[in-house]
A and B are shown apart, each in its own frame.
Chain A
């Protein structure tokens, strides 16, 4: 009975938000539900952070592999949290943390990503030699060459008309097709959730 009630509440709230875009009478209820959703999303962030901390505390407690890194994570998490509470988010100390730690660390990941992607592209034909893989690599090479220029040469490597045709016709049309399919899938998934037929969480 509780499960049915929960499903009805969830579905009903979704319907109100959806219908609020079409029926002006439901705009106020929609706005209220949206505000509640924002508050819940913020609270979920806190719960998630607690879970993150508990997982790494467990690693520390059981002295698992890479436990020192977990200790660093927990220490930095606690320090940033306390500093944010005491100094307020706009404080220069927190800005310095972002500038000195967060941005360089994520930038490093991007750099590693470039190497990983290039390595994957190199191995793609080695692992799977078929028409799609060849087209994939060929298109990647074409896009790279279309964006690049040889030093001291004003003429681009690939003609701009060909570049625009490649990007606007081939790439964009393919992307739109995929996005259309993804959107249809999202619609079907949303309908499933709204109708209460698909609740992978919970006991339903």
Chain B
């Protein structure tokens, strides 16, 4: 099996894989290169996807043909005819295609579409380059344009040639198909054509997560659909399909530009004649056609019964490969890839449902995702997404449903869509589709060949195939999309209710069934003893390094210690914090200690306020507190503050009390002050979450005491016989933990039992 190396990690992967099995990078897509140390950014590139550019180019080219298609006598094209076969899909999906097919008036300066060889060369060059592409939507017959261009070519008149299903030689292979084959899987850039993206999405859909499988339908080994094969052979003088009495969306031939005789290779796609053509005999024997890699075994259609409506055999039914029953489609499309055979089978099966007498209507098609927002009912959402002014989208949506809009209006809408796709930044000047009057009916050029109408039934059955192809290209199924189970919300409500009931019950019965906290840990005990040993009225620095969310826990943990210290030693307090809310939280902390109520600002305590710079600020403060904080929270000079008398360095403080919920902040204060604290006692009051990570600092002697969360706070409160709420809330806290443990145990048992039961019954484990 051929293998290729992943461009990111170098892992060898099978050639047909789209993604690396180790790192998940796309194997065949050239991602934007990671920037080197000094590189110039790539020049501005258009954002319009390649397929849209092709459509724009195509619309320019068919402008000359548009006039011919207007008018009441215009015959319905395949789009219109096929739309009648599927009423349930609504009109709007095909609007974009309708606009493309109806074309527009020729604009000044439109270039003559180049020959297929030129277009092939340009197409390959355009897809191979990543940078420096410019918009050339108006002067290049793009992939779609060439394909549709050939749809206007007449079928060969020779019944014998028309009866053979296939083409004669490889030169009649459509250029765009040849181009795409040549590119295969290996080519592609991030900006490659929509076919590349479409192909990747198809590959992902087909194979799923484990194996992304073969490239999409446009890889090297693809085989052509039958309808395309027969159309490529080309014929002339076919009978025109019956004209539709109702004006409907233009046929796809409207898209094809070009003048008579420009494209001489064999025809494919949809072809039409103006003059009635003799009925083309259906194949009576099984024949094998071969064209390139295409090989088909085609059976003659089953004979019609009397009850069946007579079908128009003037043209082969290119949607079903010349067959007129769904059963034959199964045999016909055996060699096709799954995506195409499924589509064709579905389209063939629709024959049973469709009626030949149904009026032709615009058949909806799948829109690109970004075009989805242009639908009338999505106009508001689009405005939100694209930040559009309120007027534009609604005006556009109204235009979408108007079947009598001129081709020029549709061309304008195409330009509007292109500008949407390019992501115009100036939302206020977002372009709106200009309103223009309907142009005069187009005058047919005497040089142009007579338009050959395509069989209505043929077009009706084949366009769904096209729609499905295009729709699948726009809807790439994501690989990993976890689904939010519906039972999550009730589960959450249940857990919340249980917690609320337990905590509320304990709050109401706080005096009953007290829970005895464990004795204070050794670090907490040591902290209390050391703080009790400092001198009276000595300076004490309190660092409040916690978030308001944990204020409750830390206040309950710190208040017993603080209360005991303030009551015994009445130290001078200095408050500081590296968080913006820290200074005010420090004030709040003091308010919880009754002994601090006699402290006066500026005399007994000073709030130095916010210390910016994170670790840098801590380092600066540790080296020179007054230099780092020259003014306090009241914008008074720190050096003149009475609580900071005779304090010039960190070592002049008797004790440092760090209240924190972050192990990183604790580490920063500990490490930055190492060697600068002198004999000052450093005690850390930490939340239960951070305490285990600060424990090693106590064990290594870098800190002198550690109070771990509410448990130590309640224990200290008991030991110091101080007032506080730690013990009261400890009951609620511990019951909450018990409840949580019980819920987790129950859920774990339940899930494990379900998994075992599933395995025993042979089902998938787990949910």
Contact = CB atoms under 8 A, between A and B. Distances in A.
Interface of A: 3-4, 7, 31, 34-35, 37-39, 41-42, 45, 62, 64-65, 88-90, 94-95, 98-99, 102-103, 105-107, 109-110, 114-116, 118-119, 121-123, 125-129, 134, 137-138, 140-141, 144-145, 147-152, 154, 156, 160, 167-168, 171-172, 175-176, 179, 196-197, 203-204
A199 B620 CA distance: 27
B745 interface: yes
Interface stretch (B87-95, B414-422, B543-551): B543-551
B499 A114 contact: yes
Contacts of A172: 692, 695-696
Contact of B37 (A39, A89, A175, A197): A197
B620 A35 contact: yes
Contacts of A99: 588
B496 interface: yes
- Which among B731, B741, B752 has the highest number of chain A CB atoms within 10 Å? B741
Contacts of B748: 125, 134, 137-138, 141
Interface in B472-503: 482, 485, 488, 491-492, 495-496, 499
A62 B513 CA distance: 57
B121 interface: no
A151 B515 contact: yes
B567 interface: no
A109 B549 contact: yes
A38 to B, nearest CB: 3
B612 A38 contact: yes
A141 B744 contact: yes
Given A98-B585, A115-B499, A175 B548 contact: no
B443 to A, nearest CB: 47
Contacts of B601: 90
B619 A34 contact: yes
9 closest A-B pairs (Cβ-Cβ)?
A38-B613, A106-B549, A125-B751, A122-B747, A144-B741, A90-B633, A148-B737, A151-B513, A106-B548
Interface string B204-222: 0000000000000000000
B495 A103 contact: no
A129 B740 contact: no
Given A89-B583, A99-B588, A42 B751 contact: no
A144 B737 contact: yes
B387 interface: yes
A126 B750 CA distance: 9
A3 to B, nearest CB: 6
Contact of A119 (B488, B513, B517): B488
Contacts of B482: 127
B746 to A, nearest CB: 8
A148 B714 CA distance: 13
Contacts of A34: 613, 616, 619-620
B609 interface: yes
24 contacts: A4-B38, A41-B613, A64-B384, A95-B588, A98-B584, A107-B549, A107-B551, A107-B552, A115-B492, A118-B495, A127-B482, A128-B766, A137-B748, A141-B744, A144-B740, A144-B741, A148-B741, A149-B517, A151-B515, A171-B692, A172-B692, A196-B37, A204-B35, A204-B38
B495 A129 contact: no
Interface in B496-516: 496, 499, 513-516
Given A37-B616, A98-B581, 19 more contacts: A38-B617, A38-B620, A41-B614, A62-B387, A88-B635, A89-B583, A89-B610, A90-B601, A90-B634, A107-B551, A109-B549, A115-B495, A122-B744, A126-B751, A144-B737, A148-B741, A149-B516, A151-B515, A160-B518
B547 A106 contact: yes
B648 interface: no
A103 B38 CA distance: 47
A31 B624 CA distance: 11
B765 interface: yes
B604 to A, nearest CB: 15
Nearest to B620: A34
Given A129-B752, A144-B737, A172-B695, A119 B38 contact: no
What band does the interface of chain B fall in when counting residues whose beta carbon is under 8 Å from A? 35 or more
A103 B612 contact: no
Contacts of B635: 88
A152 B513 contact: yes
Contact of B744 (A42, A65, A121): A121
A175 to B, nearest CB: 6
Contacts of A89: 583-584, 609-610, 633
A3 B38 contact: yes
Would you call the interface of chain A mostly helix, strand, loop, or mixed?
A: helix
B737 A147 contact: yes
Given A115-B495, A129-B751, A141 B619 contact: no
A168 B610 CA distance: 35
A128 B580 CA distance: 40
B711 interface: yes
A154 B516 contact: yes
Interface string B354-394: 00000000000000000000000000000010010000000
B668 to A, nearest CB: 14
Contact of B518 (A145, A149, A196): A149
A42 B751 CA distance: 50
A90 B583 contact: yes
B630 to A, nearest CB: 11
A12 to B, nearest CB: 16
A110 B738 CA distance: 18
Contacts of B765: 129
A7 B39 CA distance: 13
Contact of A203 (B41, B585, B688): B41
B131 to A, nearest CB: 15
Contacts of B693: 175, 179
A201 to B, nearest CB: 11
A4 B38 CA distance: 7
Given A38-B612, A95-B587, A175-B693, A125 B752 contact: yes
B620 A103 contact: no
Q: Which of B37, B485, B513, B635 has the most CB of A within 10 A?
A: B37
Nearest to B709: A147
Interface in B715-767: 731, 734-738, 740-741, 743-745, 747-748, 751-752, 755, 765-767
Given A98-B585, A148-B737, A110 B549 contact: yes
A37 B584 contact: no
A118 B587 CA distance: 33
Contacts of B736: 114
